[in-house]
Amino acid sequence: MSEMRRSDFAKKEIKNFKKDLIRKRKQHGSLIPLLQSAQVSYGYIPEKAIHYISELVGISAADIYGVITFYSQFRLKPMGKHVIRICEGTACHVNGSKSILKKLRDELGIAVEETSEDGLFTLMSVACLGCCSLSPVIMVNKETHGNLTADMTKKIIKKYKNER
């Protein structure tokens, strides 16, 4: 998606979030849907959205923060352009996912659940990607990479870095 189209999309989503805020204010049970709407709109839940929601639904920002941190579906920081998910399931573990994870951390300079300073990469660990016959496996955005070695992993990261 071009930068202009992405910007237009973001503006539209933020407008939708604001409409949801108005439509659902003081509505019992609206907190989770509003948090979901904020995350769709911004790509994460920024502090300003927490305060908007707090004012409209009458729940303290601290309590809202507690809900956000309780549910793994919510993020308080933006995700990178490329989200890398490494499988930590049994087949991947047995076939060397630890060395792949180490290579990812070394190449990206981040730990699991972090986003690189340049905003290009977010590294996530998942229980299983469902590609056991390809273990060890990672997904970059929606693309699956299997039967990995540390060297292959380095080349994959380089490919995505060069896509800027």
Same domain? For 100 and 57 the reply is: no
In this prediction, residue 12 has a pLDDT band, given cuts at 50, 70 and 90, of low
Q: Phi and psi at residue 8, in whole multiples of 5°?
A: -60, -40
Whether 75 maps to a domain, the answer reads no
Q: Out of 43, 70, 97, pick the residue that ends a domain.
A: 70
Mean pLDDT, to the nearest integer, of 4-20?
Answer: 59
Query: Does the pLDDT value for residue 132 go beyond 80?
Result: yes
Please indicate, yes or no, if residue 76 is contained in any of the structural domains.
Answer: no
Compute the mean pLDDT over every residue in the chain, rounded to the nearest whole number: 87
User: Both 19 and 90 in a single domain?
Assistant: no
Residues 16, 22, 28, CA angle at the centre, nearest 5°?
115
- How many angstroms separate the CA atoms of 148 and 95, rounded? 9
Domain region containing 33: 3-70
Residue 133 in any domain: the answer is yes
Q: With respect to residue 77, please indicate whether it lies within any of the assigned structural domains.
A: no
Q: Express each pLDDT in 22-74 by its tens digit.
A: 665 555 678 998 899 899 888 899 999 999 889 888 899 999 999 999 998 89
* Helix residue ranges, H only, the chain: 3-24, 31-42, 47-57, 61-70, 90-94, 97-108, 150-162
Give the pLDDT score at 4. 43
- pLDDT > 70: percent of the chain: 83
Q: What does the pLDDT read at residue 57?
A: 85
- When divided into structural domains, the chain yields a total of 2
Q: Classify 29 in phi/psi space as left (phi over 0), alpha (psi -120 to 50) or beta.
A: left
Exposure of 1 in the CB half-sphere (CA atoms within 13 A) = 9
Whether residue 2 is predicted with pLDDT greater than 60 in this model: the reply is no
- Asked if residue 97 is part of any domain, the answer here is yes
- For residues 65 and 99, membership in a common domain is answered with no
* 146 and 113 together in one domain: yes
> What is the pLDDT, as a whole number, of residue 25?
57
Q: Are residues 17 and 66 in the same domain?
A: yes
Give residue 155's identity as a one-letter amino acid code.
K
- Decide if 35 is inside a domain: yes
118 and 154 in a single domain? The answer is: yes
**For residue 52, what pLDDT is reported?**
87
